Structure 1
Amino acid sequence: MIKLYGTPPTRALRVIWLLNELGLDYEMLPVGILEGENRQSEFLALNPAAKVPVLVDGSLVVTESAAIQLYLAEKYPQAGFIPESVEDRAQMYRWIFFLMTEIEQPLWRIVRHTFLYPEEKRLPQDIELAKQECLEMVAVLERHMRDRAFLVADRISVADFNAAYTLDWANEEKMLEGAPRLKAYLQSMYARPKAPPTIAEAFAALESQAVTGDAMVAG
């Protein structure tokens, strides 16, 4: 049984999507980040970086959400999520790296300086810089997707499953207001039958669980 450490709304959503699309059975093991469970020795033995997601497949441990996506797609090639030609694979890697470095990183800076860092370490000016950088790169992707259904060639690939989560995050931060094509693309991806919950849906589920838990304690 495959084990996945981490739960929505984290980047574990990227892995959940691939697992769902591939029809694989897996066990999800929540890791309480706020409770410091990612800093305990048992978890650090899996990922010294203390981050989720982590995939355990037999004796193999894989970290980093994009790497896990690629591993699963390569292990189960019958799904066709890895392009056949080396040229198309190069483009798939290109857009995955673009998404992770040019769009996700400024989004992560916004989150850090908005509420993750202690208040005395937050830099409001970096939030504005990150927003500007993110919008510029979103515009690049918007132009690329102008006449496309998928990021690479004419069929879905790992790059699209990576992009959907990243763009959902960007959408939550109002970064897609000037990108109608990306908004339509995002909607089409989450319309897939095996799509995981969106970030907003995952947060809502967490809040609902917290309210239920409080009610049970109060009762």
Structure 2
Amino acid sequence: MKLYEFPPTRSIRVRWALQELGVDFESISVNMTAGEHKSPAFLKVNPAGKLPALVDGDLTLTESIAIVLYLGEKYIDKGLMPRDLGQRAELHRWLMFAATELEQPLWRISRNTFLYPEDKRIPADIVRAREDFASMAAVLEEHMKGRQFVVGNTVTMADFVMAYTIDWANEFQMLEAFPGLKAYMTKMYARPHAAPRIAAAFASVGVNPAQN
């Protein structure tokens, strides 16, 4: 099994899932700062030129949430994917919530802060995106009251995705109003098989987004 990854990206989610599963895999680093994700060799793996990508035998899979779901299904005996239909539905619900309601505002902030060239950034959209994130983070904060994990009473694939997403918001100092989410994130990253925090991942490749 091969994981094409670049530390600061959503590769973190997949690496985390693999480490929690205890599955052997080969890490193939694709340096996005050097443009390796646009190379002909990598575009054969993922024509979208994005990370992560997982190759498992004849299967090549992209999109981090699709990958963690696949891993949870493949190694279902490891217990990171609920067997109960209702809990599985809840897991899918919160994964979609993370991808649509929480990630999208964070992407807008990232694009208008350091991803887009300065002449293409829209500062006003950062303000609106922060508002959009806060309203949805409040929903998750309420859901997590009295809970250790997003779904059920044990850790699942939903937690690795959600903790990373919350850490992304934390990088923009957006958790002040959400102590429950911050505590949940901290506890998740304290797990012995957790992946690196986003800040540490950026530091490992010598990148400071604030300077871009």
Q: Same fold (TM over 0.5)?
A: yes
Q: Secondary structure at the match of 2:146?
A: coil
Matched with 1:36 is 35
Matched with 1:179 is 178
Percent of aligned positions that are identical:
54
Matched with 1:73 is 72
Matched with 1:99 is 98
Q: Secondary structure at the match of 2:32?
A: coil
Aligned residues: 207
Opposite residue 42 of structure 2, the aligned amino acid is F
Q: Deviations over 1:143-171 (max 9, x none)?
A: 00011111112111111111011011111
CA drift at 1:132: 0.7
**Are 2:135 and 1:108 aligned?**
no
Cα distance in 2 for residues equivalent to 1:190 and 1:200: 12
Q: Secondary structure at the match of 2:80?
A: coil
8 A Cα contact 1:138 1:175, kept in partner: no
Cα distance in 2 for residues equivalent to 1:201 and 1:32: 16
CA drift at 1:207: 2.4
4+ aligned runs moved over 4 Å, structure 1: none
8 A Cα contact 1:113 1:127, kept in partner: yes
Cα distance in 1 for residues equivalent to 2:43 and 2:200: 29
Q: Which runs of 5+ in 1 are unaligned?
A: 209-219
8 A Cα contact 1:9 1:202, kept in partner: yes
Matched with 1:215 is none
Cα distance in 2 for residues equivalent to 1:147 and 1:103: 21
Q: Secondary structure at the match of 1:34?
A: helix
How large is the Cα RMSD of the aligned pairs? 1.1
More deviation in 102-111 or 30-39?
A: 30-39
More deviation in 100-109 or 199-208?
A: 199-208
Matched with 2:200 is 201
Q: Deviations over 1:108-128 (max 9, x none)?
A: 110101111111111001111
Cα distance in 2 for residues equivalent to 1:9 and 1:123: 23
